[in-house]
Structure 1
Amino acid sequence: MKRRVVITGIGLITPGGSSPEDVWQTLLHGQSVAQSITSFDATPYSTSQAGIIEESEPFQPFSRRLLKRMDRFCCLAMAAAHRAIEDSGIEFQHREAAGVYIGNMYGGWGVTDPSLRNLLTQGYREVSPYVASAWFPTAPQGQISIHWGLKGQSKTIIADTASSALAIGYAARAIEEGRADVMLAGGAEAPITPYTYTFCSNSGRLNPAGYRVFDPEGRGFLVGEGAVLLVLEELEAARRRQAHVYAEIAGWATGYLPRAENLWSDEGKKLASLMTQALRQAELEPDEIGYLGLDAQGVQAADLAEAQAVERVFPGEQPLATSCKPTLTHLLGAGAAAEIATALLSMQHDLIPPISAHPVSAAHMRLVSEEARPAQVRNALIHARGADGVQSAMVLRRMAE
């Protein structure tokens, strides 16, 4: 019999706030937090708007010496891990059974970008000695493990915008199978550098008109920096220490749709099959789901495929659906973790935040827009997709008081 996995801590460092309370208030207002990039000239790019974290308070628990050695995406991950551990109240008594799974897309270009420029213009002596380790996508995994002395399961997952969904799913699986007792899991991203922003802009996934989901003119999203880490525990261990439990990870499935099949033209069949698998694992029927956390890419074809997947799984009355991304911006490798955290906060507050403060509608979907909707959510289904074909669906179950 597999062990049950619950979430006992949330760490959020986002453009919309650096605590669950602040982020929740931002989500309730539904206004995009995107602002003009000022750290470099972004006018040549497809858009100069992004989600930016301006406060330095989240980094205060760490020494300047340590922060200097890390890229910004790693600093964000460390700060989110600190908040999640603090929120959970966990003490790592058996560090061999505690680990970290974390996802990102781009790694650390905040250090690498200027160092490469210095190398070309001023010579090798002007290159930061920390570049070799700071840029690496696995840096947060290593720094978190070192800082908190975690000696158990440890992985970095890169799966485009589905990265953190897979990190959380695989972390839960490690606990289910007895390979871990406690896991930190989520994602981190810091794409607001000239080099990384070039990737984003040239991909054609940024929308000059803003983040417009389920819109016939939808051409993409707005990116943001941030990190979201969750504390996952085995249920009985959490109960023994009387921890607050946000929800149980009741089901999870992931799969791959080869790009050769034209990613968004399968009419949502692959995503629908994964949603069905996750429901089956959770031993739930579709009509028992009260909340849908959407991928909401903001690309017309992608949003249509998502709507078709939802219609396949929920042919009758559909659950209320929302997404935090139009408000917080798309945190890329941390975006799916932000959606999961939003679902957890909705369960806490018996409210579903709007996908936008402006009217949004989609055929065959019950989108929450303009204002929050009261709802006692017992079960939530959150899905994520990456542009290279990785897809994921997760079911969260609210625990009885």
Structure 2
Amino acid sequence: MSNANGNGRPRIVITGMGTISPLGNDVQSTWQACRSGTSGVAAITQFDASALPTRIAAEVKGFDAAAALGVKEARRSSRCMQLALVAAREAVTDSGLDIAAVGEDAGVLVASGVGGLEILERATLALHQQGVRRVSPFTVPSMIADMPAGVIAIEHGAKGPNFAVVSACASAAHAIGEAAEWIRRGDATAVIAGGTEASVCALGVGSFNAMQALSTRNDEPERASRPFDRDRDGFVMGEGAAIVVLEEMEAARRRGAHIYAELSGYGATADASHITAPEPNGDGARRCVLKALERAHAHPADIGYINAHGTGTQLNDSAETKAIKAALGEAASTVPMSSTKSMHGHLLGAAGAIEAIISVMAIRDQYVPPTINLDEPDPECDLDYVPNVGRDQRIDLAISTSFGFGGHNACLAFSRVE
């Protein structure tokens, strides 16, 4: 098999994956929970949410930062940095690649929508309640969104390109797609890429409450995230990190690496419509999907699975349904499409990365995870969303869609590798 695709571009593959999520603290446990339709949503434990309209979230469970990273590192870093470091360790170990040996040819592109939001919240309270002397000197380096990429590079010795992408809920998908472009243009031979987010704090939840974007189904947390359902009332905030190791296919094969899948297509577009609402007819999303398929040299009928953005908000789910119909035409009604946010919640800037990993695992196992809590489909949402129970499915090509505030759209296409 040639190492270049139909237009001579180098082929990029995934050789390592790592995650820490509301469903599990590694890839395998997260995927098994997805397969079985398990919800990771529960009452918020990280702060007192009793005064807020929303008192539920999909939190990472059983994570001890001091035990994982050491007391010193835990004390001076944000939660999104901590989660990113743990997920990156799993991904790099899984890849079997000696990042330090690759050195200047190893890049890191890890996204976050808001960075260390709890650090900013804490520093602001200290400033106003106790004065400037009580503001931690680690406030700036631990709250900025590029720092997860920075500390991953420091830990692993990656000396190539290194920065963050910020495009709201499309951030991690953009990071993975752009990381592949680094390799294609020769700026790196391997890239640690993905996203991390940890904004389950009073400022984060309260701000989304002010927008009326979050579900307030507090009495039934596990049933609160309801993408495409008639009774959906907003998304459920999640947290976590998901990281992949990308390499050029020929280099990965030369070193005998295990290849999970090929990142065969990537599309990025803008709605240019509204700061928070998607373009009503989903035209930006439609063009994004078509760009990813074009670069994958694929047709709508080739798609075996779509991991939908599927937030569980009224506007997103209907607009995304229209976009998929417009992009896929007659094939839209036959392709299984699920929103795993129904289980792990919305990881915001990390959403595109955890959903990329789930899409790759779906290809590996030839299995489509369900959209749970889909009891009464919205009449405007009339595609095959795999309600409540997953199914076996031949999947040679899977796509994952991610859409963010500001009209940012990203779509990743993953292909099975023989």
TM-score band, normalised by shorter chain: over 0.9
Task: Tell me how far apart the structure 2 counterparts of residues 59 and 208 of structure 1 sit (CA, whole Å).
Answer: 33
User: How many residue pairs end up in the alignment?
Assistant: 400
Alpha-carbon distance change, 112 to 269 in structure 1, aligned in 2, over 3 angstroms: closer
Bigger mean CA offset, 288-297 vs 119-128: 119-128
How far the C-alpha of 1:146 sits from its partner, in A, is 1.3
- Distance in 2, Cα, partners of 1:290 & 1:193: 38
SS of 1:371's partner is coil
Matching residue within 320, 344, 347 for 2:360: 344
Deviates more, 1:10-19 or 1:27-36: 27-36
Q: Counterpart in 2 of 1:234?
A: 248
Q: Is the 1:6–1:247 Cα contact (8 Å) retained in structure 2?
A: yes
| Aligned: 1:272 with 2:272 | no
Letter in 2 for 1:399: V
How far the C-alpha of 1:357 sits from its partner, in A, is: 5.5
Q: Distance in 2 between matches of 1:262 and 1:298?
A: 15
Question: How far did 1:140 drift?
Answer: 0.5
Cα distance 1:358–1:58, how it changes in 2: closer, same or farther (>3 A)?
farther
User: Is 1:357–1:371's contact at 8 Å kept on the other side of the alignment?
Assistant: no
What do the CA deviations read for 1:144-184 (whole angstroms, capped 9, x no partner)? 11111111111211111000010001001111111111001
TM-score (normalizing by structure 1): 0.95
Pair 242,302 (structure 1): closer, same or farther in 2 beyond 3 Å: same
The question of 1:85 aligning with 2:82 is answered no
**Counterparts of residues 307-386 of structure 1 (less than 5 Å):** 307-317=321-331, 318-356=334-372, 358-359=374-375, 361=377, 363-386=381-404
Distance 1:162 1:261, change over 3 A: closer
* Partner Cα distance (2:238, 2:377) in 1: 24
- Please give the alpha-carbon distance, in whole angstroms, between the structure 1 residues aligned to 2:152 and 2:134: 28
> Is 1:140 matched with 2:148?
yes
Contact 1:222 1:329 in 2 (8 A): yes
1-structure distance, mates of 2:236, 2:412? 24
CA distance in 1, matches of 2:96, 2:211: 41
Kindly indicate whether the alpha-carbon contact (under 8 Å) linking 1:265 and 1:301 is maintained by their aligned counterparts in 2.
no
Q: Which moved more, 1:204-213 or 1:291-300?
A: 204-213
Deviation per CA, 1:186-212, whole angstroms, max 9, x where unpaired?
110111112222222222210113222
Question: Which secondary structure state, in structure 1, belongs to the residue aligned with residue 330 of structure 2?
Answer: coil
Which among 225, 234, 238 is matched to residue 239 of structure 2?
A: 225
Equivalent position SS for 2:319: helix
Q: Which residue in 2 is equivalent to 1:128?
A: 136
- 2:339 and 2:385 in contact (8 A); partners too: no
Q: 1:10 aligns with which of 7, 17, 20?
A: 17
% same residue: 31
Aligned position for 2:75: 68
- Segments of structure 2 that go 5 or more residues without pairing to the other structure are 1-7, 218-223
Label 1:352 to 1:136 Cα distance change in 2 as closer, same or farther (>3 A).
same
- CA, structure 1 residues 47+261, in 2 after alignment: closer, same or farther (shift >3 Å)? closer
Gaps of 5+ in 1: none
Residue 73 of structure 1: CA displacement? 0.6
Is the contact made by 1:226 and 1:331 (CA closer than 8 Å) also made in structure 2? yes
Q: Give the conservation status (yes or no) of the 8 Å contact 2:121–2:203.
A: yes
CA distance in 1, matches of 2:67, 2:89: 10
**2: CA distance, partners of 1:278 / 1:9:** 22
1:358 shift after superposition: 4.8
Quote how far apart the aligned CAs of 1:368 are: 0.9
- How many Å apart are 1:84 and its aligned residue? 0.6
Q: What's the CA shift string for 1:2-22, capped at 9, x where partnerless? A: 211001111111011011221
Kindly provide the CA deviation profile for residues 320-371 of structure 1, in whole angstroms up to 9, marking residues without a partner as x: 1112111011111001111111111111212111111653646441111221
Q: Distance in 1 between matches of 2:382 and 2:243?
A: 33
Shift, 1:123, TM fit:
2.6
Report the residue type matching 2:363 in the other structure.
M
3-state DSSP of counterpart to 2:258 = coil
Contact 2:112/2:166 (8 A) holds in 1: yes
TM-score using structure 2 length: 0.91
* Secondary structure of the corresponding residue to residue 180 of structure 2: helix
Q: State the Cα deviation string for residues 15-63 of structure 1 (Å, max 9, x = none).
A: 1101122111211222321111133221232310001123136764522
1:114 to 119, 122, 129: 122
Separation of aligned partners in 2, 1:166 and 1:323: 19
Between the aligned partners of 1:57 and 1:43, the Cα distance in structure 2 is: 24
CA contact (8 A) 1:200 1:206 kept: yes
Paired residues for 1:284-303 under 5 Å: 284-303=298-317
Tell me, yes or no, if the aligned pair for 2:265 and 2:413 is still in contact at 8 Å: yes
* Distance (whole Å) between structure 2 residues aligned to residue 11 and residue 381 of structure 1: 19
Greater Cα offset, 29-38 or 238-247: 29-38
Query: Which residue of the partner structure matches residue 166 of structure 1?
Result: 174
